[in-house]
Amino acid sequence: MILKGLLRRKTRTLLTLVGIAIGVAAVVALSGMAEGFINSFSTILTSSGADIIVTQADSPDILFSAVDDVVGPQIAVIPGVKAVSGIQLAMVSTADAPYFFVFALDPKEFGIRHYRVVKGKSIAGPRQMLLGQIPARDYHKKVGDYYKIQNISFRIVGIYETGENVEENGAVISLKEAQEIFKKPNQVAFYQIQVERPDLVPTVLKQLEHRFPKLTASRSANYMDNSQETMMLRAMGWFIGLLAMLAGGLVMMNTMLMSVFERTREIGVLRALGWRRGRVLRMILGEALLLSLAGGLLGNAMGVALLAWANQLPVLAGFLNNAYSPTLFLEAMLIAAALGAAGGLYPAWRAAGLQPVEAMRYEGTSAKSRTKNEWERGSFLVGGMALRNVLRQRTRTLLTLLAIGVSVGLVVALGGMGEGLIEQMSAIGSQSGDLTITETKASDISVAAIDDKVGRYVATLPAVQHVSGMLIVIASAPGMPYLLAFGYDPTCFAIRRFAITEGERLRNPHEMILGKIAAKNLHKRVGDNFQMVGSNYRIVGIYETGVAYEDAAGVISLQEAQRLFKKPNQVSMYGIKLKDPGQADSVKKQIESRFSQVSVSRSTEFAEKLNDMNTFRIMTNTLSFISILVGGVGMMNAMLMSVYERTREIGTLRALGWKRRRVVGMILSESLLLSILSGLAGIALGVGLGTLITLEPSMGSFLKGSYTLPLLSQAMIIALVLGGIGGLYPAWRASSLSPIEALRYE
């Protein structure tokens, strides 16, 4: 009987199944992406056979870790250590890929043996490269060809494989050359250590911790499990995925509730025949669970397809292997079952509570007859028939409004974050001058490295009034796993915008000024000490700029930042203040013709060109599309149920002379009215969600949204489009009803 109940309305069942499946697919895809990234980095750390890795203490990400290469020989003499291999990691932008991994190793150490050369030979001289077999295939490269990294051509002397896509989708160069090219002299990102016997690992770990207190030693296989990045990726994947699931759950509840309304008389007959409340309850819950489990299976299949598609994108290629696991499948199915239980509980309780006599008398919401004059008058009232019909089933309207509102709200929240990121980065640039210099090939502003000779040259140009170098790094501090730190020359023009609200300005190397948001989150005051990357700084001032990125950060002197983060003579970007802003184009050409490795933009526009922003846009657009699909399914489901429920009423209208297009207009107007209400609710929900996210102490300040008029207008347009598309098929179906058949409908 459960299966029969679901198959009675095949279209409604199919739409509900699709709505649940999209929500499940969102959870599978987003959680799978997070696990894929985690697995990929774990692969990099463990695939060489290393037992232990040593990284910089307090480094928020292994890409930002910097360990002096004098540490390697000291590790090698520790009892129990068999071999040591230093590795430098870099993620760069190339002509073929926005994100491309470069692995740098010493050809004499054990780490490079993991990269098995299948064509050609291993690197043995300067400007030589091993290229992974995936880019060799995709970019049509072979042994003897050249490949550019950071505008430097490397000759491909071999093609390698490792059995892991994330490694095979990159390139290998010598460690010494990487240190030169990426401006990381005498540094490695981490050391890989092989021990003589597995039982010696705990002993070696203790010795490493004792001898190198400013470094972190951990088992290779466990490093990612304990990292802040892992927790953040998993939390984001589940948070956004569950919002999509919430919309799917509301669609489920709506469907089951309308099924109960539709079958009120039938349930009354069953109760009169002796069915107890518990049996009715089990029947409705059984239908909900069966539908949700079927949606879970379909959602898992859709999620796997999404992961496979995403893994082919240049931005994500190789990162999402082994992203889908039996554990993720079970988690998704449990969530789907929970949705079925939650979505079916109230409808089941309502069905079980029906009294047999009242249920058997139920005629539906269309039972009340109206005269032709009443119908005609109703269509011209304020709000008209559309408003009356939308409010007829308030529970259904509320559930539909919430389902679409969640979808629109997610679009608003994500879009607001994207706009906020761009506004904040643009504000940082524009307040530093008229032009901004960034590194052309940097995959991320936080890993950019511009030689300070660029700044010295720019300062000599007659049109330039001030040049301000800025070093931006992501650090980790007690109580704040992700802390943005800025390095500025205390005398430069750009630092003037840091308005000191307490204390005094930055003057000496071991001083720091702290943003008001960071000071509040960390409970710091002027005069307190602040520890960052193993060094202590005295907080001499609290500042405010009005830019959340900066107000949640700390500022130290540029030279101190270069020393602390091992980036000598480097900055992340330059701000240029011109004597005459009208000379911007001329200065831009002069700089770019002199230094091909940098890009010069007007400060108000440079954020638009950053890879970070483009990647964030792709991510938010994808998530928004998933949300819109869920909302569209919910709208179509609601309007289709409205048509089923009012079949006899529509037959009456047709018998009274209503033409098909008038019926279509009535259904579409209801759908559009519901969309407007849902859009307004979604905007409120999105702004509220975005505000709630900013309250998270570690990362919330960086995600401050900007809810512009174009964004809110876009959200309303999306809601209206959802209403138009979602109401189209139900309107067509309603207009196609034969008056005689509709009047006979039970």
DSSP structure class, residue 112: G
Are 138 and 185 members of one domain? yes
Are 453 and 597 members of one domain? yes
Are 436 and 567 members of one domain? yes
452/612 Cα distance (integer angstroms): 23
Domain boundary among 579, 602, 625: 602
Per-residue model confidence (pLDDT) at position 376: 47
Give domain status of residue 111, yes or no: yes
Which of 104-113, 444-453, 673-682 comes out lowest in average pLDDT? 444-453
Per-residue model confidence (pLDDT) at position 506: 92
465/429 Cα distance (integer angstroms): 16
Are 383 and 441 members of one domain? no
Q: How would you classify the pairing of strands 171-174 and 128-132?
A: antiparallel
Domain boundary among 342, 362, 382: 362
Per-residue model confidence (pLDDT) at position 382: 34
Per-residue model confidence (pLDDT) at position 489: 92
Alpha-carbon torsion, ordered 663, 669, 671, 677, to 10 deg: -160
Per-residue model confidence (pLDDT) at position 227: 61
100/441 Cα distance (integer angstroms): 10
Per-residue model confidence (pLDDT) at position 558: 93
Are 354 and 395 members of one domain? no
Per-residue model confidence (pLDDT) at position 705: 78
Give domain status of residue 134, yes or no: yes
Please say if the pLDDT value at position 602 is more than 80. Answer: yes
Are 733 and 666 members of one domain? yes
For 545, residues 6+ apart whose C-beta sits below 8 A from its C-beta are: 427, 431, 497, 498, 499, 515, 551
Q: Token pair for residue 199? A: 């039982």
The answer to whether 111 and 222 have CB atoms below 8 angstroms apart is no
Higher pLDDT among residues 159 and 652, named by residue: 159
Please say if the pLDDT value at position 433 is more than 80. Answer: yes
- Least Cα distance to 683 among 703, 709, 722 occurs for 709
29/43 Cα distance (integer angstroms): 20
27: confidence class by pLDDT, cuts 50, 70, 90: confident
DSSP structure class, residue 442: B
The answer to whether 626 and 26 have CB atoms below 8 angstroms apart is yes
Higher pLDDT among residues 64 and 119, named by residue: 119
Give domain status of residue 28, yes or no: yes
Per-residue model confidence (pLDDT) at position 405: 77
User: Structurally, how many domains does the chain consist of?
Assistant: 4
Residue tagged 């296989």 (tokens)? 221
Phi, psi of 157 (to 5 degrees): -100, -10
694/203 Cα distance (integer angstroms): 43
Q: What is the mean pLDDT of residues 173-188?
A: 88
Nearest 5°: the CA angle 89, 95, 101 is: 15
Per-residue model confidence (pLDDT) at position 500: 94
Are 166 and 129 members of one domain? yes
Query: Which helix (H) or strand (E) element contains residue 188?
Result: strand 187-188
Please say if the pLDDT value at position 378 is more than 60. Answer: no
Please say if the pLDDT value at position 255 is more than 80. Answer: no
Q: Token pair for residue 125? A: 């001289």
Number of H helices, E strands in the chain: 25, 24
**Residue range of the domain that includes 35:** 1-46+230-362
Give domain status of residue 82, yes or no: yes
Q: What is the pLDDT of residues 522-544, one digit of tens each?
A: 889 999 998 887 788 999 999 99
Give domain status of residue 207, yes or no: yes
327/314 Cα distance (integer angstroms): 27
Q: What is the pLDDT of residues 283-298, one digit of tens each?
A: 877 877 887 888 888 8
Q: What is the 3-state secondary structure (H, E, C) of 649-690?
A: HHHHHHHCCCCHHHHHHHHHHHHHHHHHHHHHHHHHHHHHHH
The answer to whether 404 and 719 have CB atoms below 8 angstroms apart is yes
Higher pLDDT among residues 413 and 615, named by residue: 413
Q: What is the mean pLDDT of residues 677-702?
A: 77
Are 466 and 513 members of one domain? yes
Which of 218-227, 267-276, 363-372, 411-420 comes out lowest in average pLDDT? 363-372
Please say if the pLDDT value at position 39 is more than 80. Answer: no
Helix, strand, or coil (residue 728): helix
| Count of Cβ atoms closer than 10 Å to residue 109 Cβ | 18
Per-residue model confidence (pLDDT) at position 171: 93
Q: How would you classify the pairing of strands 146-149 and 152-161?
A: antiparallel
Are 314 and 411 members of one domain? no
Per-residue model confidence (pLDDT) at position 321: 65
The answer to whether 382 and 288 have CB atoms below 8 angstroms apart is no
525/48 Cα distance (integer angstroms): 46
Give domain status of residue 224, yes or no: no
Give domain status of residue 181, yes or no: yes
Per-residue model confidence (pLDDT) at position 380: 38
Are 245 and 151 members of one domain? no
Mean pLDDT of the chain: 79
196/184 Cα distance (integer angstroms): 31
Per-residue model confidence (pLDDT) at position 381: 38
Are 680 and 728 members of one domain? yes
| Residue 602: strand pairing partners | 435
Per-residue model confidence (pLDDT) at position 293: 85
- Least Cα distance to 545 among 499, 511, 579 occurs for 499
Query: By percentage, how much of the chain surpasses pLDDT 90?
Result: 17
Q: What is the mean pLDDT of residues 4-22?
A: 65
Per-residue model confidence (pLDDT) at position 377: 46
Q: What is the mean pLDDT of residues 561-590?
A: 89
Per-residue model confidence (pLDDT) at position 235: 67
Are 469 and 509 members of one domain? yes
Please say if the pLDDT value at position 645 is more than 80. Answer: no
Higher pLDDT among residues 295 and 86, named by residue: 86
121/623 Cα distance (integer angstroms): 44
Higher pLDDT among residues 665 and 246, named by residue: 665
633/16 Cα distance (integer angstroms): 7
Give domain status of residue 51, yes or no: no
In single-letter form, the type of residue at position 61 comes to: D
142: confidence class by pLDDT, cuts 50, 70, 90: very high
Per-residue model confidence (pLDDT) at position 375: 43
Phi, psi of 677 (to 5 degrees): -60, -40
Domain boundary among 573, 602, 631: 602
Q: Which of 335-339, 367-371, 500-504 has the highest mean pLDDT?
A: 500-504
